[in-house]
Structure 1
Amino acid sequence: MPRAINKLSQLTVAKTTKPGLYADGGNLYLQITSAGVKSWLFRYMRKGKPRGMGLGPVHTIGLAEARALALTCRRQLLDDIDPIDAREAKRKAETTAAADEISFQHCAEKYIEAHRTGWKNAKHADQWTNTLTTYAYPIFDSRSVAAIDTTLVMKVLEPIWATKTETASRLRGRIESVLDWATVRGYRTGENPARLKGHLDTLLPKRSRVQKVTHHPALPYADLSAFMPKLRAQEGTAARALEVLILTATRTNEVIGATWSEFDLDEGVWTIPAERMKMRKEHRVPRSARAIALVKMQQEVKRGDYVFPGRRDKSPLSNMAMLQLLERMKRDDITVHGFRSTFRDWAGETTHYPREVCEAALAHGIKDKAEAAYARGDLFVKRAALMQDWANFCA
């Protein structure tokens, strides 16, 4: 009568090369892949479903050791313990024990380093570090990331939630992200104590009740006729950059970071690459006649790759240059970014262009995901007409 267990021999294990499963008995199998890799497999049924647990490669785990491991698995099954679940639980326990030595600060630094290259603005890493260093690290101290709970998170947020609401809100999101990262890494388990929806929103007042919404001060579009001649009378790169920003309804960073390679002056198109856009989507800006003329004026004083260079040829204009220009013009009552609101108010109140055309001119994303899925075009032709009308109004 053939043996029901210990069927294989050392010689059989060594010489067998054909891909397949070879039973040793007692749920233990020699597994050979199509690539010729040999390993041990423990196969069993659990709640009516087949499961397979790898025990290791043949070159590391010998036949005797594989039989011993299979025996342990069979004993676990007799005790109604799933061997795979037991192994996973052991690994998690070991990881959690090791995490006792891993602090929240360590995880935060690793998170920032991992995401640094993905952030479109290099300042984001500094902002993350500064807010966490100022508010979170002193409270969390050297505690392990696994020990961070709701009480500690609230101790960080409560003192500044009402007085520095925007900072507190961003700080909460950053803590939540770090804790999520730590959970995925296996350094902590359970719910995220920094989660807002269904958790902290029951403990903290709504932002709308404690934070006054403030908008960028904007120039009323009716005052543009008086403002634009004064702007055009100003000398320097900042004045030309600000006029281009107004005529294109773009953002500060998009203008000062503009390079010559982005412009097709013959076609009258400025293509801003996705990595420089807030929505991470390439944006084609139709240029009005005046905007094209301004860029051509910059060609006459061209130095370096930037259309609006700073004091050094290889660096762009400072992001404060246009704001400082407004201050010199005695217009510290408005902001550079506010000109986008000026354009939007003019377009919405004095023209018949559809809302989606006006929003596309500002490179705003579509919040409705279903609508966004079907909005494949960029309405360029209609936007070209809109921007020329805007330039005529500004003139």
Structure 2
Amino acid sequence: MADVKAAIERTGPSKRAEKALSAAFVRTVTAPGKYTDGHGLFLKVDTSGAKRWVQRIMIRGKRTEIGMGSASLVTLAEAREAALQNRKLARAGGDPLQSKRASEALLTFEEASRKVHKIHEPTWRNKKHAAQFISTLETYTFPRIGKLKVSEVTTADVLAVLQPIWLEKPETARRVRQRIGTVMKWAVANGWRQDNPADAIAQALPKQDKTQAHRKALPYDKVPEFLDALKASSAGDATKLALELVILTASRSGEVRLAEWSEFDLEQALWTRPAHRMKSKKEHRAPLSPRAVEVLLQARKLGSGEGLVFPGTKYGKPLSDMTLSKLTKALGYDVDVHGFRTSFKTWTQERTNTPRDVSEAALAHTVKDKAEAAYARSDFFEKRRSLMEKWEKFVLGSSAKVIALSV
């Protein structure tokens, strides 16, 4: 009885301790816990939803756990075969863990990077961030150190990657350094390195200019002119409507490009943005001005009225941020799409009597001051509705000369 209890404790909340897993179960299970298969093999599901194979095995009289890889990369059949081979090797007096480390120590930096990317992919906020992690390494690191063994990459190698971009592209360089460091920490954790070469380079690089490069924004009094040019352009209707909605709602580009029809209640002129797509990780209710509702009604006529509001040219993919950026440049304006939020904020500061709390809520900004956040229980929805309607009138040109509007 004690042995059964111990087995249950080892496997966590699993109800399959005496039953082999199935491929369908591995694919669909989401509840955190350990799910036993056989030969000491079990599937571990983390609270983040990540799934990985682990084998508990006796190696030379000592109980040991061996990581078998992510379930998104290693199938049930492959995990079983590897577990069986480990068991045979251990029974013959060998050490499967040392054998695994010796084999994986031969990984190149590129191979290690792709493994790390796959391991962390389920935990990233969205697909864009996951793609950026590996694309940055592909662009800046693989050409120089991609073919080097991950165990052999030196501080000098990391410097060779970073020096050409450290001052030219400071923000990108910092991200490259951080991502190299992530790969190296993984290598250290797995016993393939003793150090992280990305940690030792601070004194070897010149001091970067910490001045933040602000997004290029259009002066708010030029926004009506921009909208006139936008409406008169020969660009695709979906692209024009998406960019107009960005301006009318003072939204982030991604919030509009990834918007789905299920988020909108056009009768109530309401847009409820889900938490997982918000920078603040909180659901955000956004009031829609009359013209914003018209824009969405026009967009609905262009598609099925289901799924993405602004689908891109590739099936199932959203309109790209680059598409919107190219359009602003094509219209003759050297500004960033994100900069229209700055235009809106400056307008609220200089042309209205809008309280800061209301304008910050309109921009879906998180209140950084803890004391202030404790008192900010309201989302100022009706005040924001009034503000967005006045912003609409301004950018459409009918209120461009009004001074000090009050909310």
TM-score (norm: length of structure 1) = 0.65
CA offset digits 1:189-219 (Å, max 9, x no partner): 34x3323xxx53333223216xx75433222
The amino acid of 2:163's aligned partner reads: E
Match of 2:220 in 1: 221
Instruction: Answer yes or no: is 1:193 the counterpart of 2:200.
Output: no
Q: Give the C-alpha shift of residue 370 in structure 1.
A: 6.8
Match of 2:163 in 1: 158
Matches within 5 A, 1:1-395: 34=5, 100-140=105-145, 142-190=147-195, 192-195=196-199, 199-208=200-209, 213-234=212-233, 236-305=237-306, 306-310=308-312, 316-328=318-330, 330-368=331-369, 378-395=379-396
Q: Is the contact between residue 303 and residue 313 of structure 1 (CA under 8 Å) also seen in structure 2? A: no
The amino acid of 1:284's aligned partner reads: R
Counterpart CA distance in 1 for 2:5 and 2:326 is 70
Counterpart CA distance in 2 for 1:171 and 1:229 is 40
Q: Give the C-alpha shift of residue 174 in structure 1.
A: 0.4
SS in 1 for 2:285: strand
Counterpart CA distance in 1 for 2:142 and 2:159 is 13
Match of 2:76 in 1: none
Task: Note closer, same or farther for the CA distance 1:169–1:93 as it changes in structure 2 (3 Å cut).
Answer: same
Q: Is the contact between residue 250 and residue 340 of structure 2 (CA under 8 Å) also seen in structure 1? A: yes
Q: Give the C-alpha shift of residue 118 in structure 1.
A: 3.6
CA offset digits 1:142-190 (Å, max 9, x no partner): 5443444433322322233123323321110101111222233343334
CA offset digits 1:69-118 (Å, max 9, x no partner): 9xxxxxxxxxxxxxxxxxxxx99988866654344333211111122344
CA offset digits 1:29-61 (Å, max 9, x no partner): xxx675589xxxxxxxxxxxxxxxxxxx9xx99
Counterpart CA distance in 1 for 2:213 and 2:147 is 37
Give the total of aligned pairs. Answer: 313
CA offset digits 1:118-140 (Å, max 9, x no partner): 44554544543343244434544
Counterpart CA distance in 2 for 1:139 and 1:98 is 23
Q: Percent identity?
A: 42
Q: Give the C-alpha shift of residue 249 in structure 1.
A: 0.6
Counterpart CA distance in 2 for 1:234 and 1:133 is 36
Q: Is the contact between residue 304 and residue 313 of structure 1 (CA under 8 Å) also seen in structure 2? A: no
Q: Is the contact between residue 101 and residue 190 of structure 2 (CA under 8 Å) also seen in structure 1? A: no
The amino acid of 2:283's aligned partner reads: E
In structure 1, the gaps of 5 or more residues are 1-16, 20-31, 38-56, 70-89
In structure 2, the gaps of 5 or more residues are 9-39, 41-56, 63-94, 397-407
Task: Note closer, same or farther for the CA distance 1:264–1:97 as it changes in structure 2 (3 Å cut).
Answer: same
Match of 2:401 in 1: none
Aligned alpha-carbon RMSD (Å): 3.8
Q: Give the C-alpha shift of residue 273 in structure 1.
A: 2.0
